Amino acid sequence: MLGVLEGFVTIIVVIAVGIGLAHLKIVELSGQVLLSRIAFYVASPALMITVLGGTDVGTLFSANLLASVGCVIITAALALVLLRVVWRRTASETMIGIFSSVYVNAGNLGLPIAAYALGDASLIAPMLMVQLLVLAPIGVAVMDLTTRPPDPGHSRRRRLLRLIGQPFRNPLMIASLIGLLLSITGFELPRVINDPLHLVGGMAVPAMLLAYGISLRLGPLPGRGEPPVQVGTLVGLKLIVQPLIGFLLARFVLGLDPLGVLAVTVIAALPTAQNVFTHAVRFDRGIVLARDTIFLSTLGSIPVIAALAALLS
């Protein structure tokens, strides 16, 4: 339980620093964009190489991975129907909405919870892999294609090739593949490469949290600018539906041991990740939707995770 509280306190403190910087007019909205871009193009890829590269490959490919994949797919399908069919959101806004409902804060909150509350930091690796190798590349490709103006000079074949190749031009995808390759081969990077990667990767989480805090101060207040019903529903999918599906899959379909069931359920109940907001800023789509979902799911996940830890531990 202490690890859960420590993780949330860390997030809140750094976000508060971002709010303070914006309030004192030390940083403006342009600074938020800069921080988000640094996190996306530089710091996050470095972090993924070091995290995935240092994870045992047996932990990555486990039954926990199947449970993580299952709860993400089912919850994402529900969000897709609501966003596109019921609420008629655009394709790019729908992708941000799906991210908001399934993309868990596995890095800066999931890692300390896995380490201190679950007793093993590697338990977060399956969800990290699902998000970085599957969910993020697909989502970024969709948003890139739907926000970029069509080029009439491109044939259908060229557009198809571009669609297929798009994930492999994503810095997070490239970094994740490098990290996975390092994990599979067991190859250790020389210190002259590994140390700078650790140093730069350490900027990723603070940069995202600071950018988020700046937005909270300078942008519309949470709850203003997006339909409350839609935001509330996405938060419900994130904090209730996704962990419930994860629990059912882990306990009754895959038959995991009690620690495995606890890990899958608690990790699925993590709040929406801050890098969803980074993607929203980068493509200028669903910014307020992402920000409000992150804010409310972060607050709501505190009692949810505490209750799950008490019930299942």
What local confidence, expressed as pLDDT, does residue 75 receive?
97
pLDDT at 1 over 60: no
If you average pLDDT over residues 246-262, what whole number do you get? 93
Least confident window among 72-86, 181-195, 212-226: 212-226
Name the more confident of 131 and 231: 231
Q: How confident is the model at residue 269 (pLDDT cuts 50, 70, 90)?
A: very high
Report residue 33 CA to chain centroid gap: 18
pLDDT in tens, 229-243: 999 999 999 999 999
Among the listed residues 260, 269, 244, 296, the one whose alpha carbon sits nearest the alpha carbon of residue 65: 260
pLDDT in tens, 286-295: 999 999 999 8
What local confidence, expressed as pLDDT, does residue 163 receive?
60
pLDDT at 131 over 60: yes
Mean pLDDT is highest, among 122-136, 149-163, 263-277, for: 263-277
Q: Helices 228-236 and 287-312 meet at what angle, rounded to 10?
A: 30
What local confidence, expressed as pLDDT, does residue 154 receive?
55
Among the listed residues 290, 251, 308, 249, the one whose alpha carbon sits nearest the alpha carbon of residue 69: 249
Beta bridge partner(s), residue 272: 104
Report residue 126 CA to chain centroid gap: 13
The domains of the chain, with CATH numbers, are 45-201+226-312 (1.20.1530)
What local confidence, expressed as pLDDT, does residue 160 receive?
61
pLDDT in tens, 140-188: 878 877 876 655 555 556 666 666 666 677 787 788 889 889 988 989 9
If you average pLDDT over residues 66-87, what whole number do you get? 95
Output the CA–CA distances (angstroms, integers) from residue 21 to 11, 39, 129, 211, 218, in the order listed: 16, 18, 33, 10, 10
If you average pLDDT over residues 76-96, what whole number do you get? 95
**How many CA atoms are closer than 13 Å to the CA of 252, on its beta-carbon side?**
5
pLDDT in tens, 10-43: 778 888 999 999 999 999 888 888 998 898 889 8
If you average pLDDT over residues 66-84, what whole number do you get? 95
Task: Using a pLDDT cut of 90, give the percent of the chain over it.
Answer: 37
